[in-house]
Structure 1
């Protein structure tokens, strides 16, 4: 649990390689409208999905340590499947505040699937993790689990948030990576195992050749934040959030209008 002596304006820290964590922030803000927020993105290290496990395991705990020292959050949310599946235990060992991870929503997908064929659409780094193997074995042992990593869909989601035109071929190729595998014709559930992907769920649905159900873990993480916070107070009025980037360049500055829609009114450099 968070330190019971922390002030009401002590924020919740959301961390991702880029803007994907906004898909986690949205349901959390909906459930906890007065929650103070620091949203941190490792833009200098983006994207994580093409990096090695060693790079991520070394980078993420160090960055979160710096962020905790600067912003004194009541808890941290690793709003990134890749960072969570690789570095969550190391971050928890390094920090003395609660840390919430984001893992692929294979359990709810297995509970809901009628055809017993589930797709896991994530980054290359996430879909190859033993953590995903364990989730599949524990919750989807009677299911066919198809996996596909799409680096271009991550950059596509970032570009869309900057207001750049959509290329329908990108989500179409991402889905084809699942649908074209053996058993893909029976797939009914697609686990969005990268937090960037719920940001472009409408584009994925439009690109699908038939109706598919897309699942992510955002609502569950919002409930976890509320549970861990317990009865600790929030500010009386909803505060403006801050977005922190490890590198601020014109591409990041172009995100300002979209970030403001998520309640993040200022951009700072770490």
Structure 2
């Protein structure tokens, strides 16, 4: 293993920064490339076929160009749809992102917990399997809230975020039968933890929010245990979209140790 070989974090946008933040704590010396498919954002409104083709195609090209030691698909929608396909076509180790249903089911006190993600994630059979395996005897309420992705992206651009706008996106979760018994909510999109303060204001301070960023970082650390790390160049981020628009996120990326933004 070339000690300069990077870890590639891939997301449809900037939600994967929540994973990067946890990864920095465990592997501060690891070289990282952050890849944002801004041209394809949002994934939640796309068909499964569109997401699978786009993600597998992009990661194939990125693996060839950057020769990463490991790829993390830091996106619930992309992982639940395309993880198996990507693993079939690439030899690089792949870490995916799955809804944290198991830990949420174990900590809910009322037995009723929620799942907030994109519409595409909500309809995946993989989510049904997680519910059957880990939430038997519990009540899981789901809501596809695609609009939260755009709100999270706006927040990282420094735009003002309205609590009312966040509340409008999630109110349908509480209004479902049993919604008033919610005490735990899974944030099944890596963008959503960026809005945790606003979600807490909108949904109530007693709600426990659960997401998988820490577990993903731990998995990456486990798979790279014993490997040497050195940086051939400073960590950087690439976008499939317009670089000028991407550069509006420069302050957000700088908070995670990335000051170079490039066009892929």
Match of 1:167 among 155, 162, 166: 162
- 1:184 is matched with 179
Aligned CA RMSD, in angstroms, stands at 1.3
TM-score by length of 2: 0.97
CA contact (8 A) 1:118 1:146 kept: yes
CA distance in 1, matches of 2:114, 2:220: 27
The 5 Å alignment of 1:73-152 reads 73-152=68-147
Q: Are 1:257 and 2:257 an aligned pair?
A: no
Q: Say how many residue pairs are matched.
A: 264
Q: Do structure 1's residue 62 and structure 2's residue 57 form an aligned pair?
A: yes
CA distance in 1, matches of 2:221, 2:210: 21
Q: Is the 8 A contact 2:155 2:161 kept in 1?
A: yes
Q: Tell me the equivalent position of 2:10.
A: 15
Unaligned runs of 5+ in 1: 1-5
- The answer to whether the 8 Å contact 2:43/2:51 transfers is yes
Q: Tell me, which stretches of 5 or more residues in structure 2 are unaligned?
A: none
TM-superposed deviation, 1:174: 2.8
Kindly indicate whether the alpha-carbon contact (under 8 Å) linking 1:118 and 1:187 is maintained by their aligned counterparts in 2: yes
The answer (yes or no) to whether the contact 2:19–2:216 under 8 Å persists in 1 is yes
Contact 1:240 1:263 in 2 (8 A): no
Alignment partner of 2:140: what SS? strand
Contact 1:15-1:41 at 8 Å conserved across structures: yes
Match of 2:262 among 253, 257, 268: 268
Give me the whole-angstrom Cα distance separating, in 2, the residues matched to 1:106 and 1:68: 30
Alignment match of 1:246 (pick from 240, 245, 253): 240
Is the contact between residue 35 and residue 239 of structure 1 (CA under 8 Å) also seen in structure 2?
no
1-structure distance, mates of 2:258, 2:4: 15
The Cα of 1:210 is off from its aligned counterpart by 4.6
Partner of 1:209: 204
